[in-house]
Amino acid sequence: MANKAYKFRLYPTPQQEQLLAKTFGCVRFIYNKMVAERKETYEQFKDDPDALKKQKLPTPAKYKSEHPWLKEVDSLALANAQLHLQKAYQNFFSRRAEFPKFKSRKAKQSYTTNVVNGNILLLDGCIKLPKLKLVKMKQHREIPSHHIIKSCTVSRTKTGKYYISILTEYEHQPVPKEVQAVVGLDFSMNSLFVESEEEKTANYPHFYRQALEKLAKEQRILSRRKKGSNRWHKQRLNVAKLHERIANQRKDFLHKESHRLAKRYDCVVIEDLNMKGMSQALHFGKSVADNAWGMFTTFLQYKLEEQGKRLIRIDKWFPSSKTCSSCGQVKESLSLSDRTFHCECGFVADRDWNASINIKREGLRLLA
């Protein structure tokens, strides 16, 4: 069985917006209450890990008697808040994450509800949700009939837009495709990546860099407004809209590029890079964030896997940039300012293109 999510825009009525705001608040309230109780338990049993793991989390039902207004919202949304917290503690105990923190009002507003006895139904241009009943929805693509809806996550953006992510489950056993067309991708700060098959860049438009001047102007105006005033809220919305537009443009470009590569090649080879470390060590924070290499590789991986194709990650310490793709000689040193690769054998090529060829060859070696 496989899972796939479909995201659509929601258009709730003013009454439905009020109920959504209540649900977001109640989910956050329950989560914070349980975090506070768990924190007390942790302080009490932190010297005895086995006893701490045996302590059970409180359930949302415990708080409904003290706070009757919790009954006004979807009970499954509150139950999912407990499950999310439980997962956060499991990550903490396995040392994959820090101790769970309290949720702020400024954090992302969302809640998840599950399908129980047909409480969620897709209708013509609408979706039926618990407590909300029929909510108008812009369904820009059809969900296949063999996909079974398992849960829905409703979220609200900083600009006041509502979205629903519908998680579906379906039988999917992709037939592994015979690897014929292989490409190596070398990460490039200026152009996102360089392909081994073509000595040209992806022509990546730096959306954040393009909007930087306008964004700086809007943020300067916001800094002059009195916090909490009507003019401050209006200007905050302008800044949020600009950030949202940049994020949407970037995501759209990455989806299209990953789709093109997944359709054209049977296997894609990339380096397993530590982008956070790169941005901190080389002071490329804005450029790394604008490229969103991690998001791009995530899109590429699931698009390839759906078709039975492969994404291979090679070791980040593999000397792809220092190795000559013609004779195989490895240079002792190569500075970032050297954008053209020169080898003693006479081979001259663009540095990134040379690296992408080496990445492809290393991927083929791992495949063999």
| Locus of tokens 């296997």 | 267
C-alpha distances in Å from residue 186, one per residue of 191, 273, 277: 10, 10, 17
Active site residues: 186, 271, 352
Q: Is 60 exposed, middle or buried (0-12, 13-18, 19+ CB in 10 A)?
A: buried
- Determine the Cα–Cα distance for residues 45 and 51; give it in Å rounded to an integer: 7
Tell me which amino acid residue 242 is: L
Which run of H or of E encompasses 214? helix 207-224
| Alpha-carbon separation of residue 157 from 102, 114, 291, 296 (angstroms) | 20, 21, 22, 22
CA–CA separation, 39 and 99 (whole Å)? 9
What is the DSSP annotation of 238-255? HHHHHHHHHHHHHHHHHH
